[in-house]
Amino acid sequence: MSGPEDDAWWMLIIADRDDAITYGDLALRLSWQHRSAEIGFTLSREHWGNGYATEAVDALLSSLFTDQPITRVEGLVHPDNVASAMVLERTGFVYEGQKRLSYWVGDDNSDDRIYGLTREDRESWQSRSTEPPDRVDLVEIDVHNERVVGRLATHKSQERLVSPMLQSFADAQFPEIVDGYPVVPWLRAIEADGEMVGFVMLAVTTEHHLEPYLWRLLIDRQHQRRGVGGRAMELVFEHCRASGDRFLLTSWIDGRGSPRPFYESLGFETTGRVVDGEREAKLALD
3 in a structural domain: no
Domain count for the chain, please give it.
2
Tabulate helix, strand, coil % of the chain (nearest 5).
25, 35, 35
**133 secondary structure, DSSP code:** P
Same domain, 179 and 80: no
Is the alpha carbon torsion for 264, 268, 273, 279 positive or negative? Answer: negative
**Inside any domain, residue 89:** yes
% the chain with pLDDT above 70: 98
Whether 85 shows a pLDDT value over 70: the answer reads: yes
Q: Are 116 and 73 in contact (CB under 8 A)?
A: yes
Query: Cβ(48)–Cβ(83) under 8 Å?
Result: yes
- For 175-187, the pLDDT digits (tens) are 999 999 999 999 9
| Residue ranges making up the domain that contains 195 | 136-284
What pLDDT does residue 214 have? Answer: 98
In a shared domain, residues 276 and 212: yes
- Cα separation of 204 and 285, whole Å? 14
The single-letter code of the amino acid at 106 is G
Q: Which of 69, 104, 125 is the last residue of a domain?
A: 125
Mean pLDDT of 112-128: 97
E-strand stretches of 148-203: 177-178, 181-182, 185-192, 195-203
Cβ distance 14 to 25 under 8 Å? yes
**169/260 same-domain check:** yes
Strand partners, 188: 200
Residue 209 sits in the same domain as residue 252: yes
* 222-270 pLDDT, tens digit each: 999 999 999 999 999 999 999 999 999 999 999 999 999 999 999 999 9
pLDDT at 200 over 60: yes
pTM for the complete prediction?
A: 0.91
Q: What CATH number does the domain containing 71 carry?
A: 3.40.630.30
pLDDT of residue 3 exceeding 80, the answer is no
Whether residue 104 is predicted with pLDDT greater than 90 in this model: the reply is no
